[in-house]
Amino acid sequence: MASVVVVLLFCLVLSLEGLVSGARPEVVNIGAVLSYDSIVGRVAKVAIEAAVADVNANSTVLGGTKLNLIMENANGSAFIGAIGAFQLLEKNAIAIIAPESSPIAHVVSFISNGLQVPLISFAATDPNLSSLEFQFFLRMTQSDSYQMTAMADLIYYNGWRHVIAIFIDDEYGRNGIYSLEDELAKTRSKISYKIALPAGVTSDVISSMLEKSKLIGIRVYVVHVNAGSGLQVFSSAQQLQMITDEYVWLATDWLSTTLDSSDSVLISPSYLQGVVGFRQYIPQSKQKDAFVSRWSKLQRQKIVSSQLNTYALYAYDTVWAIAHALRDFLDESTDIIYTSNHTFQNTNMWMQFEKLKTFRDGQLLLDKLLLLNFTGMTGHIQFDSNHNLIKGVYEVINIVKSRIHTVGYWTSQYGLSLLSPETLYENKPRNYSTNQALGAIVWPGGGTIKPRGWVVADSERPLRIGVPHRASYVEFVKIVKDSPSPIGYCIDLFEAALKLVPYNVPHLFVPFGDGQSNPNYDELINMVEENVFDAAVGDIAIITNRTKVVDFTQPYICTGLAIVAPLNSIKSNAWVFLMPFTLGMWCVTGAFFFVIGLVIWTLEHRVNKDFRGPPRRQLMTMFLFSFSTLFKTHQEETTSILGRMVLMIWLFLLMVITSSYTASLTSFLTIQQLSSPIKGIDSLIASNQPIGYQVGSFAQSYLRDVLNIHQSRLVSLGSPEAYEEALLLGPKDGGVAAIVDELPYIELFLSKTNGFGIVGQPFTRSGWGFAFPRDSPLAVDLSIAILKLSENGELQRIHQKWFCKPRCIAQTSTSSDANQLHFSSFWGLFLLCGAAAIASFLLFLLRAICQYVRFKERHKDHTSTGESSSKGCSQAVHGFFDFIDEKEEAVKSMFKQQNNPAQTLST
């Protein structure tokens, strides 16, 4: 039995290649693929070698196991880099330190995935390398996803909305710019133009591309390239006079790496004056200071010629990360086993792929790497779920006079800040979003005032402004033959607004239309959207469909659709005198005449002989008294205090009513009223009569699509003369019942014609504005200018210049209902008068009842005991009315007789 076990174990050993004994291996191979002649590769090679030496010199790290570094030169080629990776894996490297180039890292990542060997990159920043497709890839540097978020925050902080991206046309450049686009979209900004530089691009090609970008007008450039082509970009920009105060140049961390690695402070200060960029932040530490001192010593010994940059520090920490993970790996499994990969067997390829072996425990080593949590030379080393270092941190740098100045910091947690990351993490501000700040920045040209970031146009390419070439209503826009500039209300207003914009806007007016008929304004707006025109100026209504494709300025005139119809005079109307008051007003006024007459008669009847006499006379006095007060011809005088108070309030009410009636009647006798049965949009829709509209106006689509009026009822009219003719003919003779158009056109039409007026009120609310492409900053600045014109009165003066000659007309009321006086306007006065009358009447009644009760009580004392004192209710009421019908003097006499019965008997 024992022999069988021995045979089986022997067979198992033979089936595994690369099996190491159960003890810790003495040497473990790690590989590195670098481009020795690149800026990053030169310093990374020295840093990696130094880190391997430090690990091997410290026996406590790997417990006696040594790292054997195998390096291959990629020479900047993905193909050569892939061959180098295969050679490393053929030598059983347990991990590969990836090349600094993202394109090479993409290729090597496929190889490491296939053979399950972890690939750790200290310089490949392409965000797409974090994809699940590359499960064995780890990034020991900051991903460009962090950097592009920082770039978007910087752009948003300065208020720029549009940028031009210059990038190298490979995975590193394209994917970085894609990430920037996503981040800018979160702040409603965007990349409006892209310049993709091919590998090996020449200065002439760069200059040609930059020259084209100048025509766009955007002046914020984001440069995301490699070192060689990046410096060419700035050199060409300087030759094209693009390093001036109207330009903004933003660079990713390739620039800081290039400058940090240079022997001189700057290769060419004039190239980079005012450039703002990012540099990966490395906190100060004793370990870092010691390594910097060590690097200086190597420089003095001529071992290394390049300056130290951040990627060299990340490369150094990468070796230590592998060492820490390998230690944990060997503590758990001392066997480093490679197995044959059946995928590569039985192939007829000239390369011997069958020699490639799969690292059996590569996943375990990867897991150990992902669990790392230590502090290295670059700071805290820990990976997130996407295999990236956590907490992206950058310095914001500004190049001024041959030196790099730090003007702030950016962290993935707190955004832009003047405080260092250590201070931020220690204090943990609660509301960091409101504390975004940077230090003073010197921009290209040497100024400290933030550039606007865009120019509308220049003398070489003026702003092309489309203006409608109208056939009618040319007071708004008129194309003058043999003149470079049109005239009109809209043009004057646009030019006045431009004077208030704090920069020069060269522009050229381009007519749109043939002048024989009014153009289609929707087509004009579409031409602005398609960049045929840079703007559109004219009598352009701001409606929903147009706002979806272009941006409008603040409306410079309020408008809306209104209805115009024929008028006739109402002076010949026999009942015109009734029109100032509504029916309700007449009824309430008439009722008060009766009530006031009744109250005054009641209050004066007992004390005033003018209000006594036969019943017929008293009834006439009651009705005629209040009516006579209207003409101040009443003969009766009021003597009671209550009567005079009621009469005073009533006379005040009459004064207000008669004054209002006189004014309203005067208005009715001097204005015209509509002869058309159409009173508004509802009656127009229900009439089924033809409706006129102006050619080119949006009124047609509104009537048809929104109000569902059939097209057969709509009649196009091209001029004010056609308006007048169609309205005079009427619907029965081939004309129209009414015309629907925008209010400014109607007001202009009414100012030149007689016999027409506006029906009802405008049934839409909108305005006119100037149209610009989406997100145009000029639209915002012109909106501010229009508001200033409105505030200083210039807007009104321009309006009067064009529409108040020879006479200004105010919009008149178009319905008799609008001029009629309603009870709601006087109910307060009526309430006061009615309350006074009722209160006076109640006081009189209360006094009369008290007198009657006292009179009856005294009368009972003088009646005989045998006489029945019980009387019916009707008799009591009749007696009360008889009592109050007596004169006040007679009542007083009766009380005196009751007080002196002896005198009464003698009499």
**pLDDT tens track for 244-255:** 988 999 999 999
- pLDDT digit string (tens) for 403-412? 889 999 999 8
Higher pLDDT, 402 or 857: 402
Q: Are 341 and 358 in contact (CB under 8 A)?
A: yes
Share of the chain above pLDDT 70, in %: 79
Tokens for 498, please give them: 């431009």
Tokens for 707, please give them: 């109000």
Average pLDDT of the chain, as a whole number: 81
Q: What's the CA gap between 439 and 226, in Å, rounded?
A: 27
Higher pLDDT, 242 or 604: 242
Q: What's the CA gap between 221 and 195, in Å, rounded?
A: 10
Instruction: Tell whether the model's pLDDT for residue 16 goes beyond 80.
Output: no
Specify the DSSP class assigned to residue 704. Answer: I
Q: Which of 108, 106, 25 is nearest to 338 (CA)?
A: 25
Instruction: Tell whether the model's pLDDT for residue 869 goes beyond 50.
Output: no
Q: What's the CA gap between 96 and 29, in Å, rounded?
A: 9
Residue 514 pLDDT: 87
| Residue 221: pLDDT band with limits 50, 70, 90 | very high
3-state secondary structure of 7: helix
Residue 278 pLDDT: 95
Specify the DSSP class assigned to residue 356. Answer: -
* Torsion angle of C-alpha atoms 829, 832, 838, 841, degrees rounded to 10: -100
- pLDDT digit string (tens) for 691-746? 999 888 888 888 888 888 888 899 989 888 898 889 888 888 888 989 998 888 88
3-state secondary structure of 717: strand
Q: Which of 646, 559, 583 is nearest to 816 (CA)?
A: 583
Residue 900 pLDDT: 60
Residue 550 pLDDT: 94
Q: How far is residue 104 from each of residues 51, 100, 254, 621, measured CA to CA in Å? A: 23, 8, 17, 116
Residue 298 pLDDT: 86
Q: Which of 474-483, 854-863, 894-903 has the highest mean pLDDT?
A: 474-483
Tokens for 89, please give them: 């894996």
The H-assigned helical ranges of 352-505 are: 362-370, 421-427, 489-499
Q: Are 321 and 98 in contact (CB under 8 A)?
A: no
Residue 527 pLDDT: 94
| Residue 809: pLDDT band with limits 50, 70, 90 | very low
3-state secondary structure of 652: helix
| Residue 814: pLDDT band with limits 50, 70, 90 | very low
Q: Are 191 and 164 in contact (CB under 8 A)?
A: yes
CA atoms within 13 A on the CB side of 746: 27
| Residue 683: pLDDT band with limits 50, 70, 90 | confident
- pLDDT digit string (tens) for 365-385? 888 999 999 999 998 899 988
Q: What's the CA gap between 320 and 837, in Å, rounded?
A: 104
Q: What's the CA gap between 351 and 348, in Å, rounded?
A: 8
Instruction: Tell whether the model's pLDDT for residue 600 goes beyond 80.
Output: no
The 3-state secondary structure of 723-739 reads: HHHHHHHCHHHCCCCEE
The residue count for the chain? 907
| Residue 540: pLDDT band with limits 50, 70, 90 | very high
Cis bond before residue 806 (omega within 30° of 0): yes
> What are the φ/ψ torsions at residue 440 (nearest 5 degrees)?
-65, 135
Residue 637 pLDDT: 67
Residue tagged 């770039």 (tokens)? 151
The 3-state secondary structure of 320-355 reads: HHHHHHHHHHHHHCCCCCEEECHHHCCCCCCCCHHH
3-state secondary structure of 835: helix
Mean pLDDT, rounded, for 131-135:
80
Q: Which of 343-352, 615-624, 673-682, 793-802 has the highest mean pLDDT?
A: 793-802
| Residue 350: pLDDT band with limits 50, 70, 90 | very low
Strand 374-376 and strand 357-359: pairing?
Answer: unpaired
Residue 884 pLDDT: 62
Instruction: Tell whether the model's pLDDT for residue 605 goes beyond 80.
Output: no
The CA radius of gyration of the chain, in Å to the nearest whole number, is 49
| Residue 812: pLDDT band with limits 50, 70, 90 | very low
Q: Which of 160-164, 835-839, 841-845 has the highest mean pLDDT?
A: 160-164
Q: Are 105 and 119 in contact (CB under 8 A)?
A: yes
Residue 806 pLDDT: 47
3-state secondary structure of 621: helix
Q: What's the CA gap between 52 and 30, in Å, rounded?
A: 10
Residue 675 pLDDT: 55
Q: What's the CA gap between 659 and 649, in Å, rounded?
A: 16
DSSP calls for 380-420: EE-B-TTSSBSS-EEEEEEEETTEEEEEEEEETTTEEESS-
Least confident of 172-186, 237-251, 794-808: 794-808
Q: How far is residue 607 from each of residues 327, 597, 618, measured CA to CA in Å? A: 124, 16, 14
Q: How far is residue 12 from each of residues 8, 315, 501, measured CA to CA in Å? A: 6, 39, 85
* Torsion angle of C-alpha atoms 704, 705, 707, 708, degrees rounded to 10: 70
Q: Which of 723, 689, 726 is nearest to 709 (CA)?
A: 689
Least confident of 40-44, 151-155, 800-804, 846-850: 846-850
Residue tagged 């005067």 (tokens)? 666
Q: Are 61 and 327 in contact (CB under 8 A)?
A: yes
Higher pLDDT, 660 or 136: 136
| Residue 681: pLDDT band with limits 50, 70, 90 | confident
Instruction: Tell whether the model's pLDDT for residue 905 goes beyond 60.
Output: no
Q: What's the CA gap between 523 and 528, in Å, rounded?
A: 9
Q: What's the CA gap between 433 and 51, in Å, rounded?
A: 40
Residue 416 pLDDT: 92
Higher pLDDT, 798 or 612: 798
Instruction: Tell whether the model's pLDDT for residue 343 goes beyond 80.
Output: no
pTM of the model: 0.67
Q: What's the CA gap between 536 and 538, in Å, rounded?
A: 7
Residue 3 pLDDT: 36
Higher pLDDT, 227 or 907: 227
Residue tagged 């004014």 (tokens)? 663
Residue 776 pLDDT: 84
Helix count and strand count (H, E) for the chain: 32, 30
| Residue 180: pLDDT band with limits 50, 70, 90 | very high
3-state secondary structure of 166: strand
Q: Which of 885, 546, 807 is nearest to 702 (CA)?
A: 546
Q: What's the CA gap between 662 and 808, in Å, rounded?
A: 26
Q: What's the CA gap between 464 and 458, in Å, rounded?
A: 11
| Residue 397: pLDDT band with limits 50, 70, 90 | very high
Residue 178 pLDDT: 94
- pLDDT digit string (tens) for 277-314? 999 999 988 999 999 999 888 888 887 878 888 999 99
Q: Which of 130-134, 273-277, 456-460 has the highest mean pLDDT?
A: 273-277
Instruction: Tell whether the model's pLDDT for residue 87 goes beyond 90.
Output: no
Q: Are 251 and 276 in contact (CB under 8 A)?
A: yes
